[in-house]
Structure 1
Amino acid sequence: MNGKTGVICSDVEQSVDDVINFVGKEISFAMTLALGKPILFINELYRRAKEDPSIKLNIVTALALERPQVKGEIEKRFLSPLVDRIFEGTPEFDYMKDFRSGLLPDNVEIFEFFSKAGGYLNTPAAQRNHLSSNYTHVIRDAIDFGCNVFGQLITSREINGKLLYSMSCNTDICIEAIKELRKQREAGKKVAIIGEVNTQLPFMYGDAIVDGEQYDILLQGPEFNYPLFGPPKDSVSLRDHAIGLHVSTLIKDGGTLQVGIGALGDAIAAGLSMRQNENKEYNQVLKSTGITEKYPELIKNIGGTGTFRQGLYGSSEMLVDAFYQLYRSGVLKRKVYDSIPLMKLINSGKLAADKIPDNIIELLIEIEGISPSLTEKDFTMLSEYGILKEGVEFANGSIVGHDISIQADFNRQENLKAIKALLGKRLRHGKVILGAFFIGPRAFYEALNSMSEEERMQFGMSGVEKVNQLYGDEELRTLQRKDGRFVNTGMMANVFGAITSDSLECGRVVSGIGGQYNFVSMAHALPDGRLVMMIRSTRMCRKKVKSNIVYSYGHTSIPQHLRDIIVTEYGIADIRGKSDSQTIEEMLKITDSRFQDELIREAKLNGKLAADFELAPEYKQNYPEKIESLLKPFRDEGHFAPFPFGTDLTDEEIAIGGSLKQLAAKKKTAVAKCLIAEIFKPVPKLAKSYLKRMQLDKPGLGKEMILQKVVLSAIRANGQIGSEDNTLA
């Protein structure tokens, strides 16, 4: 600001003063989604607006990270100690606390383009202020909205004597945001760019590396190194594992994977890890569940059930912990390079990351990757990727180094022969994944931080304009993302293959479209790409089971003409290139059987199925009990765990949480019946640790005694204790 950039400051109040004095009191403050928000700066900016009504503050962002809201006494007893432990030391967003409490002042408004699923369903102000925008269009729309101040959380590290900065967890829209705001400045507009430096953030490479001069103010100091927000993992149910197991068969060795956060992402990673490291057991599960028998051609043509010899490359807007787990398990290991000639040779099997062939120069000349008369640009490429050894220089048309001088004219055979002595052994600067943002449990951040620099460099970060689409460098990205499997989650699907992911038909936003459309589009644009949409077949609505596969619905996120593959816990519907009636038949096969007859009736009524159509008997057994019976024996052997990659929860918390979740899903009459039965039962010894965790091991009379019985009925119904257990002494 005022011609100065890269100003290091430790006084957040002074930085806000500087921004207001420069920009004025009409501020549209933009910050990225999730982890990359500058908490201390926005809290101070909000405090100033709260105290001064003459300041008009718009906050434009997405996915504000909040501690879970506690409702009711039992939730308080269960969640409060857990929340205090997991989020210890992480500051909260003051504007969100006031927003949730209804205390947001009139001069402050919040606009979000993406939110936690269901987090704002019953919040009219958030519904009215939702910004509907594809992830790749967010910056364009934010500029149109009038954003004039941008802030993000970044990290720093001294490398070769120079202090460098990294966007770390959020390159997503931040790279483009800074670029576009600088353009606004060049056009004469007053804008401010703030970086809040937190050294707890993993220092990521790739396009995440930035010069401090790109920011007007860099907030640095011990107070900014607060612990990062690290949400615990969701538990993975058996039906989620069933979905992940089906998806794992659709992933091709040597291909590309995109997957999102949450239980289904962990389920896919668990299935792929089992395929890699317990392949015999994996194939036994596929046989026992009938998956390989049902889909032999589909699996053969686009996926596989063998181990990953080449491995997978990750190309995903979100670098989730699941990718780190796949890296650890030896699945995520296919390296790609930012070079079209190298990718052509790698994809054709003529070059490998760990072996540079003796005839590499001839191969590159043959595909016009370099000129026979080597140019300086050619030499730079060969050196950068390790094709030529370190310590080699290009001077006066010759390659010089290691006591050798070779004319860079490869039309001559003697030069081709001589260059072999200067070839490297393996390629450099390969990436196993390209992501745009990340968030996960604190253990995930610690894992990234504990990697060597060389290892972490394999985890590239860039903007969504690169990660989420092919535009701009189509040939290279197509080569890198070969056999792409873009796996996304939807809430509902209709029988024609259209997907509902972000909003309800009444217009209320559940989350936002995010980057889903981009990945759908890319899956169809790539010659060997496939889109895989995961849908849980049913949901609980007012304690009643409803189908997530419907005949029609009043809102569509992904239209039916972009249908491809849909997976539920009951199977795989490969519906790309199929007629409407064929699509409906495939969708019925993966629908819960409690809802198949009604869908068939409606399809026949509308002439979309033949009047004499009948669903084959083997697909009329799609019930939850079937999934339970097929997978529970394997869970009992240690597979398909609720937390396949660990958790921040204790064993008692896992058991109590699962029990309370099941209790909440029951009808009031069933809950009352269980509670009445529990009142007349003694307290079992095995319940002691659970009751102690809930501070109900020594209840007082009245309310606490009832709460104890509620908890006991829940954990008994969930199988944690049985009627035969002895009572407490």
Structure 2
Amino acid sequence: MTRYFSQIEACIDQVIAHVGPHIVLGIPLGIGKPNPFVNALYRRVKAHPAYSLRIITALSLEKPKGHSELENRFVGPFVERVFGDYPDLDYVMDRRAGQLPPNVEVLEFFLKTGDYLDNPDAQQNYLYSNYTHVARDMMLQNVNVLAQEVAVEGSGDTLMLSLSSNPDVTLDVMDMLAAEPSRQVLTVAVINHKLPFMPNEARIHPDRFEFVVDDPAGTHDLFAPPNMKVSLQDYAIGLYASSLVKDGGTLQIGIGSLGDAIAHSLILRDQQNDSYCRIVQQLYDGKPQQGIELGRFEQGLYGCSEMFVNGFMKLIDAGIVRRQVFDDVDLQRLINQGKLSQTVSPATLAVLRDEGIIQNQLTERDVAWLKHFGIFNDQTSWHDGSLSVPIGRLSGNLAHPANFDKICQYCLGSQLKQGIFMHGGFFLGPRDFYQRLRDLDADTLGHIGMSRISFINRIFGHEELVGAQRRDARFINTTMLVTLLGAASSDSLESGQVVSGVGGQYNFVAMAHLLPDARSILMLRASRTRHGKLMSNIVWNYGQTTIPRHLRDIVITEYGLADLRGQSDSECIKRLLAVADSRFQAPLLAQAKKNGKIAHDYEIPESQQHNLPDTLESRLRPWRQQGLLPDFPFGTDFTDDELVIVKALRKLKAATENPLELVGTVVKSLFGEGDVPEKYLERMGLEEVDSLKLRLIRRLFVGNLG
């Protein structure tokens, strides 16, 4: 029997009464956490040393903060406007400050990228796990409370809940609990009325939870990271990746500027195909490439990604992500073969009969199946061995021509139903993404299937169905480093310090090698600057591996793509050198020769020795000037004035990483401010300053506005 609470604190009382003072709390990653509930429980345990709390989760999000007084002056008003009343998690702030109480542990399987490198507690309590193993690992950690933020629809007897952004792990845990009824895990749903209500598998009856909380304190704005600027470097990578996506295929991408670059490139390919082809051909330097896809999307794509991001929403709105898949292997197979289409006709019924999917003499099961997929209309039902339709009764005999015609006349629907063109495990994005989900019409929303991660991130247990649905899959992920032999490091430093997490990357890479026509695509920028020093992201060797070299496939940098599948080690080295930053090609080649992995007389072709930022700039800058490669293809939460200020803050931050440059900046600022629009000073609260420190901060800011 589900118990309902109107106050979070009253629910906390009953949680402790139900499971005792030692709580192991499982909560979703990202925005599916019921933050007010978690904070109340954390405070309760913190105040009682005899209690204990272990939290198992991932991606504990917090509102952005500046790293200096100047940055805080910018970030404060922006956060207030964009993040609204989103409540930070108390355990996150205490852990950052090194002040977690001794009776609280936090175990995360994915960290906010780069944020916890110097945090001993986060590093020591990192749970290294594939996303598909998280539900299992929660159970191994003896979770006894599972709490989730949910959306709501209806009221009273019609009340329904939705797991909304996070059915990913919750559905898997619930399956495990159903299979092991002796395990006592208290399930708690906390309603957030601002959370989009997602249908299909995410739609869940309240009785699946033991406690349901509808406290006004549980409703708050969602964490909404703004779109980031897409650089020309990002666009180059995104354009290369987009040229590998096959019409009628399957797509997985991630969040951030690279994901936006891919999505925008695909839209460009479909809507401005001539311009797209010219840009891509220029990137490829006019050389013909085998296996490159440049055509428009006549069939459309199916999205299948652990993360449903804003880029996918833009692809849906553009009519590119529209290829529907169905939860039946026979139906999906016939669609793939072109024997069935979305439109229902007498031929649909004939094909299903001839293929043995339904019987010549329809059964009750056949009729239910036909109605489920919209092949029969809602006015048709099975009754006492025959078909009941508005005009009366019909025989279910499909072999009799006249009866077949009558069935077609009175029973057929118009379009297949239950089709999904976007499967996702969780979602996260900017404010307009959430609003778009809230505003979607019921039909479009019905084609989006938020689902369990065990379905999305792996094929085991449903191999035939997944193989039929995920045809021509392109699983596109980001990595930090790639070795010349094709291994990739995406989550940890050589020291063992965790940057983020493996998440589902390994799952998708392995899946690409299991599905016959799928490819794994790993993207990375060819180089990076750290503490003022330029470094290559293609290296000879590295002490941490996320993707082993035997799973190497396609690697993309801003200088091209390297197809490594089925290639020898020496050929792999040649292809990766061809897309490496040219400033590092010679030493990388020398290391390969020193270790005997490439012929001593091999030389990098002259045509591959121009992988430099200026070369890339010259190729893509004209297209940016024409507006085809905009800084923010999907808009931004920053105002025009804030974008100017962000540029100034970035210049100043870059100077702080270079002592000589910083000295020059400081000296320059001492010789006057020059003319600067007052609006920038007002936005930063620096229009009137009355201390030496603030005067210097103001001058440093103004000095970088140019």
- 2:238 maps to which residue? 244
Secondary structure, in 3 states, of the residue corresponding to 1:193?
A: strand
Aligned to 1:27: 23
Does 2:79 correspond to 1:74?
no
More divergent stretch after superposition (91-100 vs 526-535) = 91-100
> Offset of 1:7 from its aligned partner?
0.8
TM-score of the aligned structures, taking structure 1 as reference length: 0.93
| Structure 1: gaps of 5 or more residues | 717-729
- Report Cα offsets for 1:115-161 as digits up to 9, x if no partner: 11111101011111011111111111111112111101011102896
Q: Secondary structure at the match of 1:573?
A: strand
CA distance in 2, matches of 1:542, 1:306: 43
Greater alpha carbon shift after TM alignment, 239-248 vs 213-222:
213-222
**Residue in 2 aligned with 1:195?**
189
Match of 1:706 among 693, 696, 700: 696
Give the Cα separation in 2 of the matches to 1:183 and 1:307: 46
Q: Which of 397, 405, 409 is the matching residue for 1:417?
A: 405
1:128 aligns with 2:124: yes
Deviation per CA, 1:24-75, whole angstroms, max 9, x where unpaired?
1111111010100111111111111111000011111111011123221111
Greater displacement, 221-230 / 518-527: 221-230
Residue 60 of structure 1 is matched in structure 2 by 56
Task: Give the whole-Å Cα distance in 2 for the aligned partners of 1:656 and 1:682.
Answer: 15
Structure 2: gaps (5+ residues): none
Contact 1:22 1:190 in 2 (8 A): no
Cα displacement (A) at 1:182: 5.1
Q: Does residue 198 of structure 2 align to residue 209 of structure 1?
A: no
CA distance in 2, matches of 1:9, 1:275: 51
CA contact 1:178–1:193 (8 Å) conserved in 2: no
Moved more, 572-581 or 405-414: 405-414
Deviation sequence 1:371-427 (CA, Å, 0-9, x none): 222221111111121112231122344333242644222233333333331322211
The one-letter amino acid of 1:670's match is E
Distance 2:26 2:649 in 1: 39
Task: Give the aligned partner of residue 103 of structure 1.
Answer: 99
How far apart, in 2, do the equivalents of 1:590 and 1:699 lie?
A: 50
| 1:695 aligned residue (662, 685, 690) | 685
Q: How does 1:430-469 map to 2 (within 5 A)?
A: 430-469=419-458
Aligned match of 1:671? 662
Residue 589 of structure 1 deviates from its aligned partner by 0.8
Per-residue deviation, residues 210-266 of structure 1 (Å, max 9, x unmatched): 111111110113222222221212221110111101111000111110111111111
In 1, Cα distance between the equivalents of 2:555 and 2:282?
A: 22
SS in structure 1 opposite 2:705? helix
2:378 pairs with 1:387: no
**1:232 maps to 2:221:** no
- Number of residues paired by the alignment? 703
* Distance of 2:277 and 2:156 partners within structure 1: 50
CA distance in 2, matches of 1:227, 1:529: 38
The structural deviation recorded for 1:695 is: 2.4
Q: CA deviation at 1:337?
A: 1.3
Give the letter for the 2:108 counterpart. E
Alpha-carbon shift at residue 434 of structure 1 (Å)? 0.6
Task: Report percent identity of matched pairs.
Answer: 41
Q: Which moved more, 1:337-346 or 1:126-135?
A: 337-346
Mark the CA change 1:156 to 1:588 in structure 2 (over 3 Å): closer, same or farther.
Answer: same
1:163 to 1:661, Cα distance in 2 relative to 1, 3 A: same
Pairing 1:297–2:290 present: yes
Letter in 2 for 1:269: A
Separation in 2, partners of 1:553, 1:536? 17
Structure 2 residue matching 1:523: 3-state secondary structure: helix
Instruction: Provide the C-alpha distance between the structure 1 equivalents of 2:444 and 2:72, rounded to a whole number of angstroms.
Output: 42
Q: Match of 1:336?
A: 325
- Alignment correspondent of 2:358: 370
CA distance, structure 2, for counterparts of residue 52 and residue 586 of structure 1: 60
Per the alignment, do residues 199 and 701 of structure 1 end up closer, same or farther by CA in structure 2, a change over 3 Å counting? closer
Give the corresponding residue for 1:262. 256
Distance 1:679 1:641, change over 3 A: farther
Change (3 A) 1:539 1:371: same
Distance in 2 (CA, whole Å) between partners of 1:431 and 1:482 is 14
The verdict on how the C-alpha distance between 1:617 and 1:160 changes in structure 2, with shifts beyond 3 A counting, is: farther
Q: Does 2:138 correspond to 1:147?
A: no
| RMSD of aligned residue pairs (Cα, Å) | 1.8
Deviates more, 1:688-697 or 1:612-621: 688-697
Asked if the contact 2:491/2:501 (under 8 Å) is kept, the reply is yes
C-alpha separation in 2, matches of 1:459 and 1:486: 19
Q: Deviations over 1:557-599 (max 9, x none)?
A: 0001101101011101011011111111110111000100001
1:272-311 aligned within 5 A: 272-290=266-284, 293-294=286-287, 296-299=289-292, 304-311=293-300
1:331, CA displacement in angstroms? 1.1
